Amino acid sequence: MHVRVLRFGILKEWLGPTTSVIELREGSTVLDLWEKVINEAPDAGRPGSEAILGVAVGVNAEFVLHTHILHDGDEVALLPPVSGGAPAEILNQKEKPPAAAVALVRERIGAEGLIAAAKRTEDGAVVVFDGIVRNHSRGRRTLYLDYEAYEKMALRQMHELAAQARSRFAIRHVTLVHRLGRLEVGETSVLVIVAAAHRAAAFEASRWLIDTLKQTVPIWKKETFADGAVWAPGEPFPESLALNPAEMKNEL
């Protein structure tokens, strides 16, 4: 059987081409695929077991464990730890806003328009997190950032986060927008807007949304500095999703 393998972020540099088709025997698992990819990686870029801590795998845009059995035609995404404007048309003030507005965009995020569009008279609070590209990181001068995503999975995860937030907290509306592509210093990379009757729920939901997005949504950041460029180390995936080298080794 054949599966289509996608690599993102630093894994493109470690493991070869961004996309490839790999042949596997019937009944192969994610672990079998991972071992094959590692063994075929260029020697110069092949990571050690510690380097893959926090890597997760998605099959057909859903997180899976390393024991998951693959099938012919599957799309398998190898996901390194994640890094973590929308046109105002995603919220139209003339219409009742949806419970959630979610988008990945490549143009500047129009924060002011989205904030205004999210407000309603029944709201007592609108809390906004506006993530901005700063001009330095870890003591180095930042020139610009590049964001990439496994887009269909990222959108699915963002919609799920918005639904979970509305279920967990007493809030009316969520806007989640993330920018992709080249971003200059001072531009918005991610915007979270939460509208609720009370400020406590809005604050709690906003904090939970950005923290969880940064840990679970497959979006990666490459930082270009005055003296070089690196993929941001990002937040490791939760242990329930991440590949565990020691556990995998025991199953070989």
pLDDT tens for each residue of 203-247: 999 999 999 999 889 999 999 999 999 888 766 677 777 766 555
Distance CA 10, CA 55 (A): 11
Residue type, 212: T
Distance CA 143, CA 113 (A): 27
Residue 247: the pLDDT is: 52
> CA 50 → CA 6, 54, 75, distances in Å?
21, 9, 25
SS3 state at 106: coil
pLDDT band for 40, please (50, 70, 90 cuts).
confident
Residue ranges of domains in the chain, CATH in brackets: 2-80+236-251 (3.10.20.30), 88-231 (3.90.1170.40)
| C-beta separation of 175 from 190 below 8 A | no
- DSSP element (H, E) containing 230: strand 228-231
The phi, psi pair for 121, rounded to 5°, reads: -65, -25
pLDDT band for 109, please (50, 70, 90 cuts).
very high
Indicate if the pLDDT at residue 193 is higher than 80: yes
- Residue 51: DSSP 8-state: G
pLDDT band for 155, please (50, 70, 90 cuts).
very high
Q: What is the Cα Rg of the chain in Å?
A: 20
Indicate if the pLDDT at residue 107 is higher than 80: yes
Residue type, 49: S
Tokens of 196: 């609720």
The sheet carrying 125-132 orders its strands as: 100-105, 173-179, 188-196, 125-132
| C-beta separation of 55 from 63 below 8 A | no
- Average of per-residue pLDDT values in the chain: 85
